[in-house]
Amino acid sequence: MSKKNLALATATLTTLISSSAFAQGAEAAAASPASSAEAMAALGAGLAIGLAVLGGGLGQGKAAAAALEGISRNPGAAPRIQTPMILGLALIESLVLFAFLIAYLLQGKVG
C-alpha cells in the first residue's frame, strides 16, 4: 500500500512543480491575438494525436488478442490468421500516422 501512496505523491508533486515551467507573463499572453489561436491549434493538434494513438493502440490490442485467441484454439490455422493480422495492424498504424500528419499540417496553417 505504501508503494501506491509514494507513486501518487510523486506524480502529484511532479505535476504541480512542472506546471510553473510553462507559465508565461501577462504581457506575452496579450502580445498578439494570433498567439491564442496558435495556442489553441497546438492544443487541438496534441489532443488529435493523443486520441489517434489511443484509438490505434486499443485497435491493435484487440486485433492481436483476437488473432492469438484464434491461433490458440486452432494452431493449424496460424499462417492463415497471422498474415491478415499483420496487414490489419499495418493499416491501423497507417491511420495513426495519417492523423499525426493532418494535425501537424493544420497546426502550421494557423497564424
Question: Grid cell 501506491 — which residue?
Answer: 4
Structure-model confidence comparison of residues 89 and 26, the more confident one: 89
pLDDT at 30: 57
What gap in Å lies between CA 22 and CA 39, rounded to an integer? Answer: 12
DSSP letter at 53 equals H
pLDDT band at 84 (very low <50, low <70, confident <90, very high): very high
What gap in Å lies between CA 51 and CA 41, rounded to an integer? Answer: 15
3-class DSSP state of 32: coil
CATH class of 32-109: mainly alpha
pLDDT in tens, 20-77: 656 665 555 555 555 777 778 888 888 888 899 999 999 999 999 999 999 999 999 9
pTM of the model: 0.61
